[in-house]
C-alpha cells in the first residue's frame, strides 16, 4: 500500500511557515485529476491566504454566531464547539482551500429523486478530489485537514465566496506542527461482507 495512504494524518496544528504557490497548485491539479461522475468535474477551488483568509474566517465566525440563535442545523448543535475548534485550526494554517460545487442545487429546497442522485454523485466526485489533494499534500511534506464544519456557516461563507452553487468543503494546508498517531480503524472483517 502507498505510504501516503498508510502514513497520512489529519493535521490540526500548523507551523507559521508560508506554503509555496507551486505546491498549492500541485495539490489543486491532483484534485482536478480525480474521477468524477459523468466527467462533470463538479468543483471550483478558491484558495484563501493572508487577508482573504482572515475575511473567510470572519464570515465563518459570523455563521457560528448566527447558528447559536437561528440554526441551519438544529440537530447538530452539540457539534458547534468542535466547529469553533476547527475555526482556530483554520486560523493557524497558512492556506485554506474552499471547494465549491457549482452544480449544487442548494440546501433549502426539496430534490427530485434524480436531483438527489446527481447530488450524491457530485459529492462522491468532490470527495475523490479532496482525497487526491490530501494525499498529494502529504507527498509534498505538508499537512492537511479536510473540513466539513463549514456547513454551519454555509450562507455566510457563500456570501463571502461570491460563487454559484454550494460550498462542499474546505481544506487547511500547511507544514505540520504535530505528528498525531493513527486513529482506530475498523477491522477488515467488520467492514466487509463477502458474497460468492
| Structural domains for the chain | 3-178 (3.40.109.10)
Interatomic CA distance for residues 183 and 189, integer angstroms = 18
Task: Please report the pLDDT score of residue 104 as a whole number.
Answer: 87
pTM exceeds 0.85, yes or no: yes
pLDDT at 47 over 80: yes
E strands, the chain, are 44-48, 95-101, 143-147, 166-174
**pLDDT, tens digit (0-9, with 9 covering 90-100), for 82-120:** 999 999 999 999 999 999 999 988 777 788 999 999 999
**pLDDT, tens digit (0-9, with 9 covering 90-100), for 153-171:** 999 999 999 988 999 999 9
Specify the residue for cell string 487577508: 51
**To which H or E segment does residue 174 belong?**
strand 166-174
Amino acid at each position: 500500500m502507498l505510504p501516503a495512504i498508510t502514513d497520512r494524518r489529519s493535521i490540526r496544528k500548523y507551523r507559521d511557515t508560508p506554503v509555496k504557490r507551486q505546491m498549492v497548485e500541485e495539490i489543486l491539479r491532483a484534485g482536478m485529476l480525480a474521477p468524477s461522475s459523468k466527467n462533470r468535474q463538479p468543483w471550483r477551488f478558491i484558495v484563501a491566504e493572508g487577508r482573504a483568509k482572515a475575511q473567510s474566517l470572519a464570515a465563518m465566525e459570523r455563521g457560528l454566531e448566527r447558528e447559536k440563535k437561528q440554526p441551519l442545523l438544529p440537530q447538530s448543535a452539540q457539534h458547534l464547539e468542535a466547529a469553533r475548534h476547527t475555526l482556530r485550526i483554520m486560523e493557524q494554517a497558512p492556506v485554506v482551500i474552499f471547494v465549491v460545487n457549482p452544480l449544487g442545487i442548494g440546501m433549502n429546497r426539496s430534490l427530485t429523486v434524480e436531483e438527489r442522485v446527481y447530488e450524491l454523485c457530485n459529492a462522491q466526485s468532490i470527495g475523490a478530489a479532496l482525497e487526491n489533494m490530501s494525499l498529494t499534500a502529504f507527498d509534498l511534506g505538508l499537512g492537511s485537514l479536510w473540513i466539513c464544519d463549514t456547513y454551519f456557516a454555509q450562507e455566510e461563507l457563500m456570501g463571502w465566496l461570491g460563487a454559484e452553487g454550494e460550498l462542499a468543503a474546505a481544506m487547511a494546508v500547511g507544514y505540520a506542527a504535530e505528528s498525531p498517531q493513527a486513529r482506530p480503524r475498523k477491522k477488515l472483517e467488520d467492514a466487509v461482507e463477502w458474497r460468492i
